[in-house]
Amino acid sequence: MRFDEFAMDLDRLEATSSRLELVRILSELYQAVTPDEIGPITYLVQGRLAPFFEPVEIGLAEKLLLTAIAIAFGADKDEVGRAYKEIGDLGLTAEREARRAGGRSRKAPPVLDVHRRLLEVAAATGQGSQLKKLELFSGLLAELDPISAKHFVRITSGKMRLGIGDPTVLDALSTARAGDKSLRPLLEGAYNRTSDLGLIATTLWSDGEPGVEALKVTVGRPIRPQLAERLPDPDAVIRKMGMVGVQPKYDGFRVQIHKDGDEVELFSRNLENMTGMFPELVAAGGRVKARSIILDGEAIAYSPESDEYLPFQETMGRRRKHGIEQHALRAPLRAFVFDVMYRDGKDLTTLPYEERLAIVEQVIGGSDTLLSAPLTKTDSAEVLRQELLENISKGLEGVVAKRVDTPYQAGARNFNWVKLKRNTSGQLNDTIDVVLIGYYRGKGKRVEFGAGALLAGVYDSDRDEFASITRIGTGLSDAAWRELYERVRALEVDHRPARVNSILTPDVWLEPGVVAEVLADEITPSPRHTAGMAEAEPGLALRFPRIVSFRDADKRPEDATTVKEVQEMFQQQRARGAGGSR
Ligand code: ATP
C-alpha cells in the first residue's frame, strides 16, 4: 500500500462522527493490507511507530518540524511559522505548503518505506543528530502530496486526531478477519497479556487465531494491570467476597518491574516505559532473586530525613525526565510489591493469589527498596473495619481487599480486588476521573482565558466511547484556567469526535485527551447527559463537580472512570440513602 492511499483512508477516518463508521473504515483498510504492512499500519493509525510501551520518539520539536516543512516545500521559514500561528495545526500547515509548492511530482512511497524511514529518524541520537533527523525527515516529507503531508506531520508531531482507541482497533481487526466482532474476546485476551496491538495484528494475519491464542506473557512487554472494584463499606465487602486478604492501599503510582538477566525495565499503569526515571527501582529490580521476573506494585516516595512516606503530589513529582539523580537522592522511591506474574520462564498468573504473594516474599527478601505488601486474612467485617481505620489514621488512602484464591486477571476490574476508602459525609466516597470533551467560551472575566466551563465525560469501555456526565464550572484558580486552556487548545476539533457521545453541544469540541480527577457531592439521574443512558432511561450526572487534580501523567483517556463504575457508584449511593452520609 502506498502512503497516499493510506492517507486517503486517514482522511475518511478523520471525517466521520460515528464510531461504527470508524470500525468499518478501519476494517476495510485492514482488508487491503499484507501481513508485513498490518503491524506498522496498526501503530501509525494510533499516531505511533511502535507499541505504546516502547520509548520510540521522533524527537523533532515543533520548531524543527516547521523548519522541515519549509525545507521540504521550498518555503520561507518565517512565512511557515506565521502560517502555523494563524492555522494552529502543524498538519494543515504542511498541507498548505505542499499545495503551494504545486503538489507532488513523483509517486508516493509505500507505507512500509515511510515507517522504516521514520524509525531511522527516531534512531538518530547523539552529536549532530538533530541535523540528521531534519535531513531525513524533510527528504521524506518532500516526496508526499498535500493530504499525505498533513497526516504524516500529524503522526510525527503526536497530534493525530483520529481518536482510535484500542477497543476500536480490536473490533476492526475482528471485523476484517471474521466479518463481525466475534474475535474480540480472543484478541482482547492477547492484548491484556502483551499490550502490543501491532504484534497481535501481525500474528492474526500470519498465524491466524491459534497464533494469537499462543501469544504469552513475556518479560519486556507490560501486562495490562488488574484493577479494583468499589464497595461502600466493610460489611458489603465481606458479604460479597467472604474470606479476603486485606492490604494497605498505598497512594503512589503503579509500577510493573520486568527483569531479564541484567536488564530491568519499568512500566506505568498506562503501559508507558518509565525505566529511565527511577534508577533506584532499576537497581533494586536487578537484585531480585530470579533470572527473569515480572513484579507488580505501588511506588511511593520516601524521605530519608524524616523517615516518612511523602504525599501523592510529591511522589508524582518524581515522574520527570530531568534532574533524575538529584531527585532520586532527595525523595527516593520504595515500591510495595503486591504481585508476581512471571518467574524464570513460567507464567504465574494462574496461581492463586496467596501463592503468588509467597513467591514475592521469597524473591525480594532483604531489599530496602522493594518491600512486600503485608496481607491480613479475614472474613470478619469488624477486623476489616479496624484495618481500614488503622490505615487511614496512618495517612493512607484505605485498603484493598483481595480474594486470596484467584488468578491474576490482566486488564480486568472485578470483585476479586475491591478498594475501600474513607467515607466522607455528604460526598461520594471516591473521586471520579473524567475526560474533557469540550468547553464553553467564558463570560465576563473568563473571556480572556478562552474557556468558561468544561464539558466532561466518562469512558464506556464496551463501546469505546466517551459519554458526557457533567459540566464543570468551578474549582480552578484563574492561573489554572489559563494553563488548562493552553493545553486543551491543541485538542480542539471542528466537529464532534467520533468517539464522543453527547446530547449537549459545547462551543468547542475537544478530542479526548485530558483526564481530570473530580470530586462531586452525588450522582443524579439526568436526561441531559449520556453516561449510562439507555432507551427510556436517563443518563447520570455529577452534582457539584470540582477538579482536584489532573491525571494525564498516569492515565490515558481510556483509563478514566468507566460508565459501568459510575452506575455501580450510583447504586451504592442509593443503598446508603441519597446524599451518602454515614
Ligand atoms: P485510584 O485513582 O484510586 O488510584 P485507579 O483507577 O488508579 O484508582 P483502582 O483500580 O481504582 O486504580 O485501584 C487500584 C490501584 O490502587 C492500583 O492501580 C494501584 O495503583 C493502587 N494500589 C495501592 N496499593 C495497592 C495494593 N496493595 N494492591 C493493589 N493495588 C494497590
| 495 secondary structure, DSSP code | S
Please give the Cα distance from 430 to 520 (Å, whole number). 9
373 lines ligand 1 (CB under 6 A): yes
Distance (Å, whole) CA 297 – CA 248: 12
Calculate what percentage of the chain has a pLDDT beyond 90: 69
User: Catalytic site residues?
Assistant: 249
Residue 447: its pLDDT value, please?
Answer: 58
CA 519 to chain centre: 21
Ligand 1 contacts CB of residue 356 (under 6 A): no
pLDDT tens-digit readout, 433-485: 999 999 988 666 655 656 678 999 999 988 889 999 999 985 677 788 778 88
The residue nearest atom 19 of ligand 1, judged by CA position, is 254
- Phi then psi for residue 522, to 5 deg, are -160, 170
Q: Which of 246, 251, 254 to mutate to test the pocket of ligand 1 (most atoms within 8 A of CB)?
A: 254
Distance CA 453, CA 508 (A): 11
* Residue whose CA is at the smallest distance from ligand 1 atom 16: 249
Please tell me the predicted confidence (pLDDT) of residue 69. 96
pLDDT of residue 451: 64
Q: Find all residues with CB under 8 Å of 128, minimum gap 6, and list them.
A: none
Which range is least confidently modeled, 169-178, 282-291, 515-524? 515-524
pLDDT higher than 60, residue 133 = yes
Q: Is the pLDDT at 217 greater than 80, yes or no?
A: yes
Helix axes 3-15, 19-31, angle to 10 degrees: 170
Does the pLDDT of residue 162 top 80, yes or no?
Answer: no
* 164 closest CA partner among 495, 457, 499, 494: 499
Tell me what pLDDT residue 330 has: 84
Indicate the pLDDT class of residue 371, thresholds 50, 70 and 90: very high
Mean pLDDT of 11-17: 88
Alpha helices in 73-222 (DSSP H): 77-87, 90-100, 111-123, 129-142, 146-156, 166-178, 184-194, 197-213
Average pLDDT over residues 508-516: 93
Residue 247 C-alpha to ligand 1 middle, in angstroms?
11
Please give the grid coordinates belonging to residue 326: 538529584
**Does residue 254's CB lie within 6 angstroms of at least one atom of ligand 1?**
yes
Which residue's alpha carbon is nearest to atom 29 within ligand 1?
400
> Is any ligand 1 atom within 6 A of the Cβ of residue 296?
no
Q: Looking at this protein, which amino acid is placed at residue 120? A: E
Across 86-90, 95-99, 282-286, 409-413, least confident range:
86-90
Q: How far is residue 355's CA from residue 339's CA, in Å, rounded to a whole number?
A: 10
Q: Which H or E element spans position 576?
A: helix 563-576
Q: What's the grid cell of residue 365?
A: 527478601
**At 184, which amino acid appears?**
R
Please give the backbone phi and psi of residue 81, each rounded to the nearest 5 degrees, phi first: -60, -45
Nearest CA to ligand 1 atom 12: 227
Supply the pLDDT for residue 64.
Answer: 92
Residue 338 near ligand 1, beta carbon < 6 Å: yes
Q: Flag the least confident range among 135-149, 316-330, 469-483.
A: 469-483
Provide the pLDDT for residue 548: 86
When the pLDDT of each residue in the chain is averaged and rounded to a whole number, the result is 91
**pLDDT at 582 (0 to 100):** 36
Residue type, 161: R
Assign residue 525 a region (left: φ > 0; alpha: ψ between -120 and 50; beta: otherwise): beta
Residue nearest to atom 5 of ligand 1 (CA): 227
The pLDDT value given to residue 450:
61
> Crossing angle, helix 62-72 and helix 129-142, to 10 degrees?
50
Residue with grid cell 458526557, as numbered in its chain: 468
pLDDT digits (tens, 9 = 90+) for 287-316: 999 999 999 999 999 888 888 888 888 888
For Cα atoms 56, 58, 59, give the angle at the middle one, nearest 5 degrees: 105
Q: SS3 of 544, please?
A: coil
Q: Where are the alpha helices (DSSP H) in 287-406?
A: 312-316, 324-330, 353-364, 381-393
Q: Is the CB of 412 under 6 A from ligand 1?
A: no
Query: pLDDT tier at 578 (50, 70, 90 boundaries)?
Result: very low
pLDDT grade for 359, boundaries at 50, 70 and 90: very high
Flag whether pLDDT at 424 surpasses 80: no
Distances (CA, A) of 489 to 119, 440, 449, 511: 29, 13, 11, 10
- For residue 581, pLDDT over 50 is answered with no
Backbone angles phi, psi at 245, to 5 degrees: -105, 125
CA–CA dist 47, 27 (Å, integer): 17
| φ and ψ at residue 279, rounded to 5 degrees | -60, -35
- Residues paired with residue 562 on neighbouring β-strands, in sequence order: 459
Residue 410 CA to ligand 1 centre (angstroms): 14
Query: Percent of the chain beyond pLDDT 70?
Result: 95
CB 517 within 8 A of CB 551: yes
Nearest atom (ligand 1) to Cα of 417: 29
Report the C-alpha gap between 148 and 156 in whole angstroms: 12
Q: How far apart are CA 205 and CA 212, in angstroms?
A: 10
CB-based contacts of 553, cutoff 8 Å, min separation 6: 316, 319
Residue 249 CB–ligand 1 contact under 6 Å: yes
Place of cell 491484556: 192
The pLDDT of residue 508 is 92
Instruction: Decide: 419 in ligand 1 pocket, CB within 6 A.
Output: yes
The answer to whether the pTM exceeds 0.85 is yes
Output the pLDDT for position 474.
Answer: 58
Q: What 3-state DSSP class applies to 104?
A: coil
The CA 335 to ligand 1 mean position distance, Å, reads 13
Residues 195 and 125: their CA atoms lie apart, in Å, by 27
Hey, which of 271, 337, 400, 461 would you mutate to test ligand 1's pocket, going by the most ligand atoms within 8 Å of its Cβ?
400
Question: What are 84's three cell numbers?
Answer: 502555523
pLDDT at 362: 96
Q: What is the pLDDT of residue 10?
A: 95
Contact (CB, 8 A) for 501 and 465? yes
Query: Between residues 447 and 116, which one has the greater pLDDT?
Result: 116
Q: 3-class SS at 453?
A: strand
Which of 11-15, 303-307, 469-473, 537-541 shows the lowest per-residue confidence on average (mean pLDDT)?
Answer: 303-307
What is the gyration radius of the CA atoms in the chain, in angstroms? 25
Pure H helices in 214-274: 234-241
Cα–Cα dist 88/76, whole Å: 18
- pLDDT for 421 equals 86
